[in-house]
Amino acid sequence: MAIRKHKIIPYLVLSALTAMAEPIAARPISIDAHTNIYPIQTDVLLAADSVQIDSIDTARSLPADRWQAAAENSLNLGPVNRAWLKFTLRNDGAAPEILYLESATAWIDRLDMYVFQANTLRTHQKNGDLLPADLKPLVYRNPVFEISIDPGATVDVYLDYNSRGTISAPLTIYKSQAFQHQALIEYVLLGTYFGIFVALFLFNISLYFTDKERGFLYYSLYILAIMTYYVIATGLLSHVESFGHGFWMNEFMLVVANAAGIMILLFVRKFFSTRAHMHVLDRFLRFFIGLHLLAFIPAAFFYHYGVMVIYLAGIGSTLCALLAGVIAIRLDLPQSRLYVIAWALFFLGLIVESLASAAVLPSALLARFGLQAGTLLEALIFSMAIGFRVRGLIREKERTQRKLQTVDREMKLARGIQDRIMPEKAPENFRDQVYITYKPLYDIGGDFYDFVAIDRHRLAVAVADVSGHGIAAALDSSTVKIALATAIQSGAEKPDRVLTDMGRFISRHVDFRFVSAVYVLIDFEKSTIQYATAGHPPAILLRKQAMKLIELESDGPLLGIDPTTVYASDTINFQSGDRLFLYTDGVFESLDERLERNGLELLLNAIINCAQQSPGECQSSILEHIRQARPADDHADDITFLQIVL
Q: pLDDT band for position 357 (50/70/90)?
A: low
How many other CB atoms are found less than 10 A from the CB of residue 546?
A: 10
Q: Which of 159, 619, 245 is nearest to 434 (CA)?
A: 619
* Cα gap 461→638, rounded to integer Å: 18
Taken in order 558, 449, 469, 639, the sign of the CA dihedral is negative
Tens of pLDDT, residue by residue over 225-253, are 999 999 999 999 888 878 877 888 888 98
CA distance 314 to 322: 12
Tell me the CB-side half-sphere exposure of residue 638, using CA atoms within 13 A.
Answer: 25
Helix, strand, coil percent content, the chain, rounded in steps of 5: 50, 20, 30
Query: What pLDDT score does 118 carry?
Result: 93
Question: Which of the four pLDDT bands, split at 50, 70 and 90, describes residue 501?
Answer: very high
CA distance 471 to 594: 31
Q: How far is CA 63 from CA 22, 23, 67, in A?
A: 13, 10, 7
Top pLDDT among 372 and 100 is at 100
Q: How confident is the model at residue 1 (pLDDT cuts 50, 70, 90)?
A: very low
Q: Label each residue of 194-229 as H, E or C.
A: HHHHHHHHHHHHHHHHHHCCHHHHHHHHHHHHHHHH
More confident residue, 178 or 25: 178
pLDDT-derived band at 398, boundaries 50, 70, 90: confident
Q: What is the pLDDT of residue 71?
A: 58
Q: Residue 14's pLDDT band (boundaries 50, 70, 90)? A: very low
Return the pLDDT at 511.
76
Mean pLDDT within 337-347: 89
Beta strand segments in 92-151, E: 97-103, 110-117, 120-127, 144-149
Describe the crossing of helices 303-330 and 336-357 by its angle, rounded to 10 degrees: 140
Distance CA 570, CA 585 (A): 22
For residue 303, what pLDDT is reported? 82
pLDDT tens figures, 265-304: 999 999 999 999 999 999 999 999 999 999 999 888 888 7
> How far is residue 171's CA from residue 488's CA, in Å, rounded to a whole number?
101
List pLDDT tens digits, range 81-126: 899 999 999 999 999 999 999 998 888 999 999 999 999 999 999 9
Beta strands in 525-589 (DSSP E): 528-534, 539-543, 548-552, 570-573, 579-583
Question: Cα separation of 53 and 92, whole Å?
Answer: 32
What mean pLDDT do residues 393-404 have?
A: 86
Predicted local distance difference test score (pLDDT) of residue 195: 95
Distance, in Å, from the CA atom of 157 to the CA atom of 152, rounded to the nearest integer, reads: 16
- Residue 26 above 90 pLDDT? no
What DSSP letter does each residue of 282-307 carry, written as one string?
A: HHHHHHHHHHHHHHHHHHHH-HHHHH
In this prediction, residue 17 carries a pLDDT of 35
Residue 250: name the closest of 321, 306, 189 by CA: 306
Distances 385 to 213, 320, 333, 379, 493 between C-alpha atoms, Å: 14, 19, 12, 10, 70
Judge whether residue 355 has pLDDT over 90: no
Q: Please say if the pLDDT value at position 166 is more than 60.
A: yes
Query: Rg of the chain over CA atoms, in angstroms?
Result: 42
The CA-CA-CA angle for residues 381, 383, 389, to 5°, reads 105
Task: Give the confidence band of 551 by pLDDT, cuts at 50, 70, 90.
Answer: very high
Residue 495 has pLDDT above 50, yes or no: yes
Query: Distance (Å, rounded) from C-alpha 466 to C-alpha 566?
Result: 20
Q: How confident is the model at residue 55 (pLDDT cuts 50, 70, 90)?
A: very high
Give the mean model confidence (pLDDT) for residues 186-215.
Answer: 92
> What is the chain's mean pLDDT, rounded?
86
